[in-house]
């Protein structure tokens, strides 16, 4: 399994659930706690609007300097902030201001029908010293050869990441494997996946991408995102913990922040009971309540998530030690 870096897209793609009307207080809280979770970057919105700019969209569809400053302060250098741009909506002044405010990564939407304009924006953004991601959108509408050419040209523009977006939620895990295997033969730039959950395959597709060497995976709190939504952050981290890759990401904090988001954003569309994520990740039965009550009382824990983690740690300690090589049972 590759070393996974998570980009949380709640404040950008999640905006399609609430018309981009996250309050600044919520955004500050989310960024601060995403740093605790251990995500690599928080995508905080668009610069100058989404592909189709609508006057009714809220503040997160067009980030301001004050908004960026507040979130930079909340991040405290513990995670990067990134902003999504559509090439036709930004110019050199916009990109320079993002860099001056401390945005770590600019993600440029790359479309085949506007490829030259997109490549120019990639080069321009890179000139201001920020990391740049080429986000190739609607990948299921293009032939493999076209996607390979776009990836090669993006690499030629000097990008730091090439992220494939299954914008229509149409991919199957085998589609993901083929795409990443082919692209890895064509380019050397780190690859990422932005999965949508239309077929309830966002996690399966992320797993396939990780197995194929993807280094960046997009996810969002409660799976918030356009249409059927994105890969839920808690489920992704639960999967990584299930695979014993837990050194970087805190599952309890991810689920606590998801629970907070479900309360604060009425349209968050929580996909599954959060406790069940931990039961699956930690191999605990549904009827664990009596043991959970006992351990929470004994350890004086207030959070069910902390209690389940304590139970999991107890189970790990109770496992019999493996026999030494050559020892007799």
Task: Quick: pLDDT tens for 220-278.
Answer: 999 999 888 899 999 999 999 999 877 789 999 999 999 999 998 877 766 666 888 88
Q: Which residue has the tokens 């090589």?
A: 325
Q: Which two tokens stand for residue 317?
A: 């300690």
Per the CB < 8 A criterion, the answer to whether 191 and 216 are in contact is: yes
Strands (E) across 181-284 are located at 191-195, 216-219
pLDDT of 1 strictly over 50: yes
- Between CA 95 and CA 279 the distance in angstroms is 44
3-state secondary structure at position 46: strand
Check residues 6 and 314 and name the one with the higher pLDDT. 6
Q: Which two tokens stand for residue 98?
A: 């993002």
Q: Which two tokens stand for residue 61?
A: 């569809």
pLDDT of residue 253: 96
pLDDT band at residue 70 under the 50/70/90 scheme:
very high
Strands (E) across 118-231 are located at 131-136, 161-166, 191-195, 216-219
CA within 13 Å, CB half, 206: 26
Question: What residues form DSSP beta bridges with 43?
Answer: 82
Tens of pLDDT along 97-134? Answer: 999 999 999 999 999 999 999 999 999 999 999 999 99
pLDDT band at residue 53 under the 50/70/90 scheme:
low
Q: Which residues contact 148 (CB under 8 A, 6 or more apart)?
A: 182, 183, 186
- Between CA 253 and CA 246 the distance in angstroms is 12
DSSP letter assigned to residue 272: S
Handedness of CA 17, 18, 19, 24 (dihedral sign): negative
DSSP letter assigned to residue 230: B
pLDDT of 39 strictly over 80: yes
- Which element (helix H / strand E) includes 39? none
- Burial class for 61, CB neighbours closer than 10 Å (0-12, 13-18, 19+): buried
Tens of pLDDT along 284-316? Answer: 888 888 999 999 999 999 999 999 999 999 988
- Between CA 153 and CA 159 the distance in angstroms is 10
The architecture in CATH of the region 5-271 reads Alpha-Beta Barrel (3.20)
Query: How many CB atoms within 10 Å of residue 19?
Result: 14
Task: State residue 108 phi and psi, 5-degree precision.
Answer: -105, 120
Question: What residues form DSSP beta bridges with 132?
Answer: 106
Percent of the chain surpassing pLDDT 70:
92
DSSP letter assigned to residue 300: T
pLDDT of residue 52: 66
Tens of pLDDT along 202-218? Answer: 999 999 999 999 999 99
pLDDT of 57 strictly over 70: no
Mean predicted confidence (pLDDT) in 315-319: 83
Distances (CA, A) of 101 to 21, 80, 130, 252: 22, 12, 11, 31
pLDDT band at residue 56 under the 50/70/90 scheme:
low
pLDDT of residue 257: 96
């Amino acid at each position: 399994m590759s070393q996974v870096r998570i980009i949380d897209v709640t404040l950008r793609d999640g905006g399609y659930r609430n018309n981009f009307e996250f309050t600044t207080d919520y955004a500050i809280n989310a960024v601060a706690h995403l740093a605790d979770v251990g995500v690599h970057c928080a995508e905080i919105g668009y610069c100058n609007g989404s592909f189709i700019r609508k006057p009714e969209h809220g503040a997160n569809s067009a980030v301001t300097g004050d908004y960026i400053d507040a979130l930079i302060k909340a991040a405290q250098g513990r995670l990067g902030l990134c902003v999504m741009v559509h090439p036709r909506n930004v110019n050199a002044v916009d990109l320079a201001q993002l860099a001056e405010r401390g945005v770590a990564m600019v993600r440029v939407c790359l479309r085949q029908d506007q490829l030259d304009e997109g490549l120019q924006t990639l080069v321009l953004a890179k000139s201001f010293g920020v990391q740049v991601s080429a986000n190739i959108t609607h990948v299921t509408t293009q032939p493999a050869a076209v996607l390979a050419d776009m990836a090669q040209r993006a690499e030629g523009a000097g990008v730091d990441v090439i992220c494939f977006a299954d914008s229509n939620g149409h991919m199957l895990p085998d589609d993901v494997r083929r795409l990443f295997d082919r692209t890895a033969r064509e380019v050397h730039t780190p690859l990422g996946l932005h999965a949508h959950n239309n077929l309830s395959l966002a996690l399966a597709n992320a797993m396939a991408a990780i197995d194929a060497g993807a280094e960046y995976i997009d996810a969002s709190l409660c799976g918030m995102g356009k249409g059927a939504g994105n890969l839920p952050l808690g489920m992704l981290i639960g999967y990584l913990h299930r695979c014993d890759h837990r050194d970087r990401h805190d599952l309890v904090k991810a689920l606590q922040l998801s629970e907070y988001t479900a309360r604060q954003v009425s349209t968050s569309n929580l996909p599954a009971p959060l406790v069940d994520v931990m039961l699956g990740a930690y191999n605990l039965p549904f009827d664990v309540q009596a043991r959970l009550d006992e351990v929470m009382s004994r350890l004086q824990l207030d959070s069910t998530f902390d209690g389940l983690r304590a139970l999991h740690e107890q189970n790990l300690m109770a496992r019999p030690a493996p026999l030494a090589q050559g020892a007799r049972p």
